[in-house]
Amino acid sequence: MTIHIKMPKLLPNMERGKLVAWVVDEGEVFEAGDPLYEVETDKVVNIIEAEMDGLMMKHRYEEGDDVPVGAIVAEVGPRSSKPDWLRVSYNGSAIKNVSNILEENRLTTVCEEANCPNIGECFGNNTATFMIMGEKCTRGCKFCNIERTARPGQLDPLEPIRVADAVRKMKLEHAVVTQVARDDLKDGGAAHMAETVRQIREINPETTIEVLISDLRGSYEALEDVLAADPDVLNHNMEMPKEWYRKVQPQCNYEQSLNVLRNSKKISPNTLTKTGFMVGLGESDEEISNLMDDILATGCDILTINQYLQPSSEHHKLARYVTPEKFNEYEEMAREKGFKYVVAAPLVRSSYKAAEAFEHAKAKQA
C-alpha cells in the first residue's frame, strides 16, 4: 500500500512552498512524529512531521523546488514493506533438488537457517553454504536469525565426511563451509572445521574451499589449526562498525575479529582473506569508511557489503534500506582504498558468488 505525502497549506494565503531539505532519505524508515522534510513559507522554515510509522519509498520533488499546495511530495509505504530492489523470485524445482541432497546427507545450510534472500539463485546454480557444528549458536547476536543456546550439543564426527559427499553430489567447483559460534568448545570448533576441509579436499581434489569461521574465541592456535588444513579462502565477517558492537553483538569483540583477519595473513600469507559487513543498522558513512580502513590494514583481500534485513520485531531495529546507488558509492570507496575485490549490493551475502570473488582476487594476487 502506497501513501502519498502532500504539500500542506501552512498559511491561509499559501499557494506554494519551497522544499528546503529532506530529513528522511529514500529507503529510510521513520516513526510517527519524526521530521520528514523542511518547507519555507514567507521566509519561515517549517518542519513537516510524519503522522505514522513508515518507509520513505520515493521523493517526488528535489531540495530547492517550489511545490504547489496539495502536490504529492513523496510516496511512503508501511514500515514493514520493502523497496522494489529487494524483491526476489525463487526457483522452486532447484531449491527442492539441492534440499534433497542436503536432507539425504543430514546437512544444514546457512541459506535456510538465516533466511538468505539469495537462496533461489544459489540453489538454482547448485551452490550452497554448508553450516556445520549444529543449527544453534552460543552467541545470539541481535541481527541474526539463527537460534541461540548455551548448550548446542555434541559434534558429529561423521559430519565432515557427509559435507564432502554432498560437495561431490552437487559437483561444486567452489565449496563454502561456515559454522555457528561454539563458545562451549575450547577451540571454538577449529578442529572440526579443519577436518571438514580435509575431507572435502580428499574426495574433491579439484574443488576450491572457502571457510567462514567465527572468531574461535580469539585463539591463535585454533586459527593455526584451521589454516593448516589449507583452505583457499579464510572468511571472517566483521559485520558492522566498531561503534555498533556493544549494542548489536555484545558477545563479540571488534579488535578480536580484526585479529582473525590479521593473524590469518601472518600464519598463511598466500591464503586469501575475506570479510563482510552490513549497512542499515544506523551507522554513518564516516563509521563505514573507518571500518574499511581497519579491515584493509589487516591485509584483507575480499570485501562484501550488504543490506541488513531485520528478521523479526525482536531483533535490532532497521534504520534504513540503502539504495543500489548508495551501494555503488560504497563499492567505489572500497576499491579506491585498495581492496583486491569488492562486491556491494543490497542482497549480497558473504558467500554470494564466492567462486567469482575467489577467481578475481586470486588473479590479482598473482
Q: Show me where the domains of the chain are located.
A: 3-81, 86-365
Looking at per-residue pLDDT, the higher value among 80 and 200 belongs to 200
Residue 252 banded pLDDT, cuts 50, 70, 90 = very high
- Crossing angle of helices 159-170 and 92-104, in 10° steps, is 140
Dist. CA 282–CA 10, nearest whole Å: 32
Dist. CA 211–CA 351, nearest whole Å: 10
In the predicted model, what is the mean pLDDT of the chain? Answer: 88
Residue 92 banded pLDDT, cuts 50, 70, 90 = low
Evaluate if residue 21 carries a pLDDT over 50: yes
Model pLDDT, residue 106: 66
Residue 137, annotated ligand binder? yes
Residue 122, annotated ligand binder? yes
Between 82-96, 189-203, 216-230, 262-276, the lowest mean confidence (pLDDT) is in: 82-96
Dist. CA 290–CA 233, nearest whole Å: 24
Evaluate if residue 108 carries a pLDDT over 90: no
Model pLDDT, residue 96: 59
Dist. CA 282–CA 116, nearest whole Å: 21
Report the CATH architecture of 86-365.
Alpha-Beta Barrel (3.20)
Mean pLDDT within 49-59:
90
Evaluate if residue 318 carries a pLDDT over 50: yes
Model pLDDT, residue 100: 67
Residue 351, annotated ligand binder? yes
Residue 109 banded pLDDT, cuts 50, 70, 90 = low
Dist. CA 242–CA 200, nearest whole Å: 35
Mean pLDDT within 63-78:
93
559434534: which residue's cell?
155
Q: Which three-class secondary structure state does DSSP give residue 156?
A: coil
Evaluate if residue 233 carries a pLDDT over 80: yes
Dist. CA 84–CA 101, nearest whole Å: 32
Q: Which triple of cell numbers denotes residue 347?
A: 542482497
Question: Of 70-84, 252-266, 346-360, where does the model show the most confidence?
Answer: 252-266
Residue 116, annotated ligand binder? yes
Evaluate if residue 113 carries a pLDDT over 50: no
Model pLDDT, residue 171: 85
Looking at per-residue pLDDT, the higher value among 268 and 55 belongs to 268
Report the CATH architecture of 3-81.
Beta Barrel (2.40)
Residue 300, annotated ligand binder? no
pTM for the full model? Answer: 0.79
584451521: which residue's cell?
226
Between 15-19, 151-155, 334-338, the lowest mean confidence (pLDDT) is in: 151-155
Mean pLDDT within 99-103:
66
Residue 254 banded pLDDT, cuts 50, 70, 90 = very high
Model pLDDT, residue 362: 86
Residue 111, annotated ligand binder? yes
Residue 252, annotated ligand binder? no
Model pLDDT, residue 165: 93
Mean pLDDT within 284-296:
98
Model pLDDT, residue 97: 60
Model pLDDT, residue 88: 61
* 129-132/174-179 β-pairing: parallel
